[in-house]
Structure 1
């Protein structure tokens, strides 16, 4: 099969892409993501079958999900779309489609895509982050996803925020059950809540507000940049990647690229920090391109 299909199962939208052998796009579609397991299985199956019918060709299928498959049970775990957890997604999709599928974490797919032909192209060690409703990380080394023995490599969003201040400690309780995860400080909803209080989930207007002198927005973005600097410093201290690539909605905020490199030097255990911090070249479609490459 020369056609490569990729599906990115997101919290609000599910996207499919069909790539030719050279990486060219044959077809792309998006559908709203249902929030019920059986409906997700139907949607993914329907999207794959419709794409192959329209292109009159079958292809390999890779899927990026907000979570990962347990190496012991094969069931989904660690998904912030919690209705997926504990379910045999790979087995059910293979039964539906009648062929093998490959599934990986959505941040792994982001890293794979950007390392192949995006902002991480030409770098050996690519650490990629999804800044969105949740926060996840993916790692690609020399063109290969690093999942680790337990398949939790680069799950940076669920490490605690480093060097918490007294005002931050111990942090909010994350959906994963632990206190003070990077996700509860750095995600889009966390940034919105930090600026505007409980119940706020949309941070997209904060940069414009800050540009017009709103000091609440200015202060929230500065706190966010410092927290991101600390969180990335822990990655650099442990892994020292060749590049850090940011994806997801929050990655569109320019304060990250200006302020984080100005701040992280005081946290990194080095006399210099040359690490490039760059935005994903493929935007919010990077994950779906990486999913299609799971069969590479």
Structure 2
């Protein structure tokens, strides 16, 4: 049995999967805001509850909004800042009396979709998160590629490629740079662009609804979004050339992306044709927690 934990900024979700990937247990609780010890408590309570309900101990994998630094063994690059500088995997392992593996949540998402999701069977998969932030993960032959700096897939913190005059951004990114892809393609970025042009502060979901209702301004903004996403993914294709790109996160629910973006990215991909497939996640917002469970092979955990 594999137990996966998705540690998010607002919720912590646990799932237990059997050897075939079927869900045996699932539960979600609120994340203790800014409380590292409280976060440890919540994760351990969820794992122990899964063990108790199912009558056995499972392996534990945790998807986190950051990564474990190879040089320090502590969390870095996390937008949940209370995690930064803490040895999360070690602390959980001591409390749960078993090994614990942690990985970036986008890596977990990519692993889930490559294992038994929308990209199952593909040798190379790039998983994309389009939500409050913009992240990514790379899976080759069923294995997460982390890299020596543990930052493989962080395409959201590269500059928007092939910018036009209106895209020379001075919008700062939390990473300290300006012009990052994340500042153009995240949910807050879409809302900010609509606010600038309309004076209305709407969520990304509300803006996409206006697109479907044929609102002229929303449609104009959506056309910009399609092209920016196409350019940004084209740069990924030029470097990695993945068989499949899987989209997840709140913005990935917009069905028009899957036709509009591939119709545009050929202008920027260094090839006479583009065989890469762009697909929505099969497991939706459950992909991250399932991928955390898949961090472990099928080796049983001893009681």
Specify the TM-score bucket, using the shorter chain as the normaliser. Answer: over 0.9
Query: Cα distance, 1:258 vs. partner?
Result: 1.8
CA distance in 1, matches of 2:202, 2:4: 29
Aligned residues: 294
CA distance in 1, matches of 2:105, 2:200: 26
Q: How does 1:140-289 map to 2 (within 5 A)?
A: 140-197=139-196, 200=201, 202-289=203-290
Give the secondary structure class of the aligned counterpart of 1:104.
strand
* Cα contact 2:195–2:202 (8 A) shared by 1: no
CA distance in 2, matches of 1:241, 1:164: 23
CA distance in 2, matches of 1:235, 1:265: 13
**Structure 1 residues 99 and 242: CA distance shift in structure 2, 3 A:** same
Q: For 1:260-296, what per-residue CA distance to the aligned partner results, in whole angstroms no more than 9, with x for missing partners?
A: 1111111111111121100000000001111001012
CA distance in 2, matches of 1:125, 1:261: 18
Query: Cα distance, 1:250 vs. partner?
Result: 0.5
Aligned equivalent of 2:129: 130
**Structure 1 residues 152 and 20: CA distance shift in structure 2, 3 A:** same
Aligned equivalent of 2:300: none
Aligned alpha-carbon RMSD (Å):
1.4
Segments of structure 2 that go 5 or more residues without pairing to the other structure are 298-303
CA distance in 2, matches of 1:182, 1:115: 24
Aligned equivalent of 2:27: 29
CA distance in 2, matches of 1:56, 1:73: 36
* Cα contact 1:221–1:255 (8 A) shared by 2: no
* Cα contact 2:62–2:293 (8 A) shared by 1: yes
CA distance in 1, matches of 2:273, 2:79: 36
What TM-score results when the alignment is normalised by the length of structure 1? Answer: 0.96
* Cα contact 2:160–2:228 (8 A) shared by 1: yes
Aligned equivalent of 1:96: 95
CA distance in 2, matches of 1:229, 1:260: 5
Give the secondary structure class of the aligned counterpart of 1:185.
helix
Give the secondary structure class of the aligned counterpart of 2:9.
coil
Runs of 4+ in 1 over 4 A off after TM superposition: 198-201
What TM-score results when the alignment is normalised by the length of structure 2? Answer: 0.93
CA distance in 2, matches of 1:62, 1:87: 17
Query: Cα distance, 1:118 vs. partner?
Result: 0.6
* Cα contact 1:242–1:275 (8 A) shared by 2: yes
Give the secondary structure class of the aligned counterpart of 2:15.
strand
Give the secondary structure class of the aligned counterpart of 2:276.
coil
Give the secondary structure class of the aligned counterpart of 2:209.
helix
Segments of structure 1 that go 5 or more residues without pairing to the other structure are none
Query: Cα distance, 1:7 vs. partner?
Result: 0.4
